[in-house]
Amino acid sequence: MKWLAQFRKKSPWILHYNAGSCNGCDIEILAALSPRFDLERFGIVNTGNPKQTDIFLVTGPVTFHSRERLVELYSQIPEPKVVVAVGACTSTGGVFRGMYNVEDGIDRYIPVDVYVPGCAASPQLIIDGIVQALSILEKKNKAIEKPFRLFGGIKRIGKKISRLTMAKRIGEEK
């Protein structure tokens, strides 16, 4: 419904995932949630639960170990959803770009809506990025969004959609 869409930006719940970050950006995200910067005044709650999440905050350059979980978490978030890449590593790979054990940013795996620069991204920038993400979230429709890699397809059982096979394991890819 069109009328309900206006409430998306009034209560965005975030899920924070660390895809091999150095914890610099994670500390800044927690600082943004803490009383000093107070993200809760926008109605933001840090749920650890992907099934009740609107904004997916990712930090880190996606190490080999974390990419399965990244895609798994992404495919468990119900639409509408937005992804915010926090920090230089998450956006481009940062200082780790080209190394053998990282994947140069999350946009090789999942579609990203907002890139937040900085090493580490400051709380002010993170808040700005989230507010940018809110205006994108309001315009999105509820079509199913797919990860670029490790995508296992969507099964249809009658009228219903099954997401059980949406995220693949690494060995199953080929």
Partner 1 sequence: MTTWFWIVMAPVLGGLVYGGERVLRARMQRRQGPPLLQPFYDMFKLMDKRTLVIHSAHALLGVVHFLVLWITVGAIFFGWNLLYIVFLHLFALIVLVIAGYSVRSVFSQIGANRELLALVAYEPVLLLVTVGFYLYAGSFYIGDILHHSGYLSQMPLLFLALLVILPIKVKKSPFDVVEGHQEIVGGVEVEYSGFFFEFLYMARFLEYIFIYSFVFLFGGADYWLGALLVIGTFILVNLVDNATARVRAADMVKISYLLALLLAGINIVWMLT
Give the Cα separation of 44 and 164 in Å (integer).
28
How many residues at the interface with partner 1, by CB under 8 A? Answer: 28
Q: Is residue 173 involved in binding partner 1 (CB under 8 A)?
A: no
Query: Which helix or strand (DSSP H or E) is residue 162 part of?
Result: strand 160-162
Please choose, out of 21-29, 36-44, 100-108, 109-117, the segment that lies near partner 1 by the rule CB under 8 A.
Answer: 36-44
Q: Are 79 and 142 in contact (CB under 8 A)?
A: yes
**Closest to partner 1 by CB, 55 or 86:** 55
Q: Is residue 78 involved in binding partner 1 (CB under 8 A)?
A: yes
Give the footprint of partner 1 on residues 98-157 (CB under 8 A): 142
Q: Is residue 10 involved in binding partner 1 (CB under 8 A)?
A: yes
**Closest to partner 1 by CB, 49 or 124:** 49
- Give the shortest CB-135-to-partner 1 separation in angstroms: 15
Give the Cα separation of 131 and 41 in Å (integer).
12
Rounded to 5 degrees, φ, ψ at 166 are -70, -40
Q: Is residue 18 involved in binding partner 1 (CB under 8 A)?
A: no
Among 79, 155, 169, 170, which residue sits at the site for partner 1 (rule: CB under 8 A)? Answer: 79
Q: Is residue 28 involved in binding partner 1 (CB under 8 A)?
A: no
Name the 3-class secondary structure at 45.
strand
Buried b (16+ CB within 10 A) or exposed e, 55-71: bbbbbbbbbeebbbebb
Q: Are 86 and 39 in contact (CB under 8 A)?
A: no
Convert residues 38-77 into a mask of x (bound to partner 1 by CB under 8 A) and - (unbound): x-xxxx--xxxx-xx-x---------------------x-
Other CB atoms within a 10 A radius of the CB of residue 137 amount to 19
Question: Tokens 């926090």 correspond to what residue?
Answer: 86
Structure tokens at 20: 């091999």
- Give the shortest CB-154-to-partner 1 separation in angstroms: 12
- Chain contacts with partner 1 (rule: CB under 8 A): 1, 4-5, 7-8, 10-12, 35-36, 38, 40-43, 46-49, 51-52, 54, 76, 78-80, 142, 163
